[in-house]
Structure 1
Amino acid sequence: MNGVLPTLLGATARLEDGQRSRGREALLSGAQRLATLLRAQGTRVLATLLDNGLPWLLADLAAAEAGLVHVPLPLFFSPAQVQHALAAAGVDSLLLPPALTSRFPQLTAQALTLDGQDLALLRLPARPPALPAGTAKITFTSGTTGAPKGVCLGNEGMRRVTAGLVQALEPLAVSRHLCALPLAVLLENIAGLMAPLLRGATCIAPPLAELGLSGSSSFDAQRFDAALRQHRPGSLILLPQMLRAWVAHLQQSGRRAPEDLKLVAVGGAAVGAKLLLQARALGIPAYEGYGLSEGASVQTLNLPWADRPGSAGRALPHAELRVAPDGEIEVRGSLFLGYLGEVADASDWWPSGDLGHLDEAGFLHVSGRKKHVLITAFGRNVAPEWVETALRGEPAIGQAVVYGEGMSALCAVLWPSRLDLDNAALQAAVDAANAGLPDYARVRLWLRARAAFSPETGLATANGRPLRDAIWRAHEAALASPLTH
């Protein structure tokens, strides 16, 4: 071994995927064998299109051992997004399940077995990529358009984050982490896999369907809860919509969260103090954090001993934050190397594109995206995410998008948390949310969406983020009405 692999795994590191359990030595030897094969193939840029499990981790470790660039691709990416990522990153080898090779009929598949699991390795036409020096991983963010954007990360930045997380979370002494998000998503890859393994914890990474997650936005909270009780983790990472669905399931079933849990980190979007407190009342130790791919995943996190619900927490040991005069959050400490196809910014500080402030105790409060800020007809600046978080804090509202640029009052398109909820329930939820908002930020006009905000309806990105422009176009005529719907 070249010395890289042993530094990534603690002495007692272990991975379980529901079928197999492998300790440190088995992980190291499996990754070494795959690294040798990839070197012999002449691989320079390896993409993986894999579900959670042992092969994903072995591929990630093998890429590090062989000095390759790893491009993890989520299974929820559309075929067009996968093709874009492969071409943009100059991928020359693609590791995937045999069943997915039909997507690439022009390529010849080489069969291989990785720790008892059948896989296929496809060789793509060589396209030497123009990458920033030191690129070790490329993570693609789906953003708000159909073409994902490649973020190039170096080993040093990623290791800073993993070491910072190990240091920050050490008092919790978590020995088992459940990977509830796709490993191809950087947050789970770094904070949910590499950091626990570096500490020597056991990572549990079964296929996502076993945890109730399919695609980018379909989540079965009942199945998730059952899996959680089976695997008994001490920590996990959830998206806000997953936490919301789990809270609703526990409330309806009259159950509490398993007592083994010490930390449920919630990120990816604003959570809101109301949802966090509802979760904690049910025994879910939920704590909000904040991060961005350009900073190698997570920068801040609330913790049991340093917690302010409604904030995104304090900076973790590897990160520094400041707020520019215009309110934009800037970060440094574990920055990326640049975007694919673009010249890297030489600045030490990265403008996040998010607005917020740091309070007197150093807790970060994020109000929304800078590019989304709207100005009402009365000249009031409003971050729509702030109002949307308040709306989603009501149990009846599953999804919400707020508009109001140049309008005399804010309007919203809503999707209920349950299809059996009528408009009266939604109106009551809007009234309850408005009660906690200042007059200028209250929603005066709303309507029920024609469909859920999802990739399948064309109203969300591949990872479930609502497409504001598409939602507006689909409902513009109704929103122009002076009446509440």
Structure 2
Amino acid sequence: MREFSLPALYEVPADGNLTDLVRRNAVQHPDVAVLGRKVDGVWTDVTAVQFLAEIRATAKGLIAAGVRPGDRVALMSRTRYEWVLLDFAIWTAGAVTVPVYETSSAEQVRWVLGDSGSVAVILESDGHAETVASVRDALPELRDVWQIDKGGVEALVASGAGIDDATVDARASSAKADDPATIVYTSGTTGRPKGCVLTHRAFFAECGNAVERLKPLFRTGECSILLFLPAAHVFGRLVEVAAVMAPIKLGCVPDIKNLTEELAAFRPTLILGVPRVFEKVYNGARAKARADGKGKIFDRAAGTAIAYSRALSTPRGPSLGLRIKHTIFDRLVYRKLRAVLGGAGEYAISGGAPLGERLGHFFRGVGFTVLEGYGLTESCAATSFNPWDRQKIGTVGQPLPGSVVRIADDGEVLLHGEHLFTEYWNNKAATAEALADGWFHTGDIGTLDEDGYLAITGRKKEILVTAGGKNVAPAVIEDRIRAHALVAECMVVGDGRPFVGALITLDEEFLTRWAADHGKPAGSTAATLRLDADLLAEIQRAVDEGNAAVSKAESVRKFRILASQFTEAGGHVTPSMKLKRNVVVAEFASEIEAIYSA
């Protein structure tokens, strides 16, 4: 058993709640732009004073509608300015926010709203309204529905005009530090989602210590952050609250379809993302270079960036020759890549899945450091992260200051700290199992090095045991195979089988480019090319690269390219893109059998 902790850098308030932050900002930083809001396609600033006024006016509408302290109010929307406004307005009314993924099915919406006992829901679109309407008969506690796209916020402000300031002041201070701030339903890789109760104290501990440890990235009046992750995800909420706590300017965009253009317009100094975003930036740049006849230059530049980054971690640092090559490629390649990421920032934080050492070294080598972290819904997002000044690529960093990470005898990662959830809503049995002996049992397998840096090697329940008795952690090899530009997703199989296999889906964007470059018929798809010899050879190279990271017994012997994607709509992945392995195994049973057939 091994454990590591760091002293707290932030003193969690003995009482109070998250609405104290917006009131503090209005007093201490009244004219500082704390949010960016798109109006007619143009980013405009919202000052701390303006933001507080909008929050209070919206909260008055909730109070006028009969929302009481402790009531649950659901919020179902894409990531946008109104999400942040409504989240803080719900808290200001003394209520508890229940985020709902905007892609949720009717059954998922019925479960989350029903299990939480939400008395109201604020949603975004006609599609969301139809989904809620289809299950409303099963939600006897649901009284009110407001739609953002049909003037819902404006209607709340108008209806609350008769509520006096003293009433909203009393409501804003009604929640205490240990009261629930939100109930975030886990994505649910198996079974029904569980509602993680996160208190105001948990967010104070989480965001306060993270902001203090990453202080140079959260300079008020200088730094900004663009949120394009789902705001309903706990990682998105971390970004929201941390930005307000600092405060730094926060911008919200609903998706990554036009991310390059949004980054160029907003010019954030800090980016939060998941590995797939950074993989696409790398693969996109490489594909463009090849299309322009500069593929060899890009590959040499990438190799130099990785070598340069690796050398930074050695006592002697990069050699003179490597520094000269790095300077040349900075002018030719690296500065263009930084421009794609907005051109103003030097740091990003990645979570949700393993980033991989290759990408970590590549981005640090081009002058845009991606700090990898790790966390769960139950830990209020990040429970460990790489510090800006002592990054150790290949790990998910050190514990959040003020918390403890322990590795149990069986390798499971255990957590302790004020940032943890207090219970699963309406689920005492699951709570008792997860919070045994005062520690949260994550279900993840990991290691701690001598400096307290955590590495996650797999999921306790996802460890495969081959017929030969070999334990296999899928994450390591899946990450390496997925790094190939053509691979969208990879899932290792082999539990109880004679050897390890893999199901692989293809990235549609890069498949189109690859097909054109290799003389394949126009309009070729994964379905038409999955047995193509050239494509199989290319994917075999990706598998070989993955196999290089593991022992022979753990390596992928055979694979199958699937004709379709793993999608959230199909139930294969969660909204945060975690594989629902049991669903994939059931749906693609015939493909798995084909791997092991003669």
> Shorter chain as normaliser: what TM range?
0.7 to 0.9
CA distance in 1, matches of 2:457, 2:181: 32
List runs of 5+ in structure 2 lacking aligned partners.
1-15, 137-141, 157-177, 290-335, 515-534
Partner residue, 2:283:
248
Q: What TM-score, normalized by structure 2, do the two folds share?
A: 0.72
Shift of 1:151: 0.6
The residue identity in structure 2 corresponding to 1:455 is: E
Partner residue, 1:140:
185
Partner residue, 1:16:
36
Partner residue, 1:437:
550
Partner residue, 1:55:
82
Whether 1:300 aligns to 2:384 is yes
The residue identity in structure 1 corresponding to 2:490 is: A
CA distance in 1, matches of 2:287, 2:478: 24
User: Which structure is higher in helix share?
Assistant: 2
Q: What TM-score, normalized by structure 1, do the two folds share?
A: 0.88
The residue identity in structure 2 corresponding to 1:372 is: E
The residue identity in structure 1 corresponding to 2:489 is: Q
CA distance in 1, matches of 2:246, 2:108: 34
Whether 1:194 aligns to 2:194 is no
- Residue-by-residue CA offset, 1:327-353 (whole Å, 9 max, x unaligned): 000111111110011224464321111
Question: Of 409, 413, 426, which aligns to 2:503?
Answer: 413
Shift of 1:265: 0.7
CA distance in 2, matches of 1:113, 1:484: 53
**Cα contact 2:77–2:124 (8 A) shared by 1:** yes
- Residue-by-residue CA offset, 1:307-337 (whole Å, 9 max, x unaligned): 1211111112142211111100011111111
List runs of 5+ in structure 1 lacking aligned partners.
122-132, 213-222
Shift of 1:184: 1.5
CA RMSD of aligned residues (A): 2.7
1:96–1:428 CA distance, 2 compared to 1 (3 A) = same
- Residue-by-residue CA offset, 1:109-160 (whole Å, 9 max, x unaligned): 6768899875677xxxxxxxxxxx7222011111214632211111111111
Shift of 1:46: 0.8
Q: How many aligned residue pairs are there?
A: 461
Shift of 1:475: 3.5
Question: Of 43, 49, 72, which aligns to 1:45?
Answer: 72
**Cα contact 1:454–1:466 (8 A) shared by 2:** no
Partner residue, 2:483:
393
The residue identity in structure 2 corresponding to 1:451 is: S
* Range 436-445 or range 281-290, more displaced: 281-290
Whether 1:80 aligns to 2:128 is no
Whether 1:328 aligns to 2:407 is no
Q: Give the percent of matched residue pairs that are identical in Structure 1 and Structure 2.
A: 26
The residue identity in structure 2 corresponding to 1:189 is: R
Partner residue, 1:171:
216
- Residue-by-residue CA offset, 1:440-479 (whole Å, 9 max, x unaligned): 2210011101311112334323443222223223433343
1:118–1:356 CA distance, 2 compared to 1 (3 A) = same
CA distance in 2, matches of 1:204, 1:471: 35
- Residue-by-residue CA offset, 1:157-202 (whole Å, 9 max, x unaligned): 1111110111011033451011021211111111x11112211210
**Cα contact 1:225–1:246 (8 A) shared by 2:** no
- Which structure has the bigger radius of gyration? 2
Structure 1 counterpart SS, 2:338: coil
1:425–1:69 CA distance, 2 compared to 1 (3 A) = same
Shift of 1:75: 0.8
The residue identity in structure 1 corresponding to 2:110 is: Q
Structure 2 counterpart SS, 1:257: helix
Partner residue, 2:423:
338
1:108–1:474 CA distance, 2 compared to 1 (3 A) = closer
The residue identity in structure 1 corresponding to 2:278 is: L
**Cα contact 2:467–2:498 (8 A) shared by 1:** yes
1:73–1:474 CA distance, 2 compared to 1 (3 A) = closer
The residue identity in structure 1 corresponding to 2:58 is: L
The residue identity in structure 2 corresponding to 1:195 is: A
Structure 1 counterpart SS, 2:184: strand
Whether 1:477 aligns to 2:590 is yes
Structure 2 counterpart SS, 1:479: helix
CA distance in 1, matches of 2:150, 2:269: 27
1:116–1:280 CA distance, 2 compared to 1 (3 A) = farther
1:300–1:109 CA distance, 2 compared to 1 (3 A) = closer
1:13-412 correspondence to structure 2 within 5 Å: 14-19=34-39, 20-43=44-67, 44-97=71-124, 99=126, 100-105=128-133, 134-145=179-190, 147-174=192-219, 175-190=223-238, 192-206=239-253, 208-209=254-255, 211-212=256-257, 223-254=258-289, 255-258=336-339, 259-333=343-417, 334-343=419-428, 344-345=431-432, 347-412=437-502
- Residue-by-residue CA offset, 1:348-405 (whole Å, 9 max, x unaligned): 3211110001011110010111000111223221111122112113333221000122
CA distance in 2, matches of 1:104, 1:115: 15
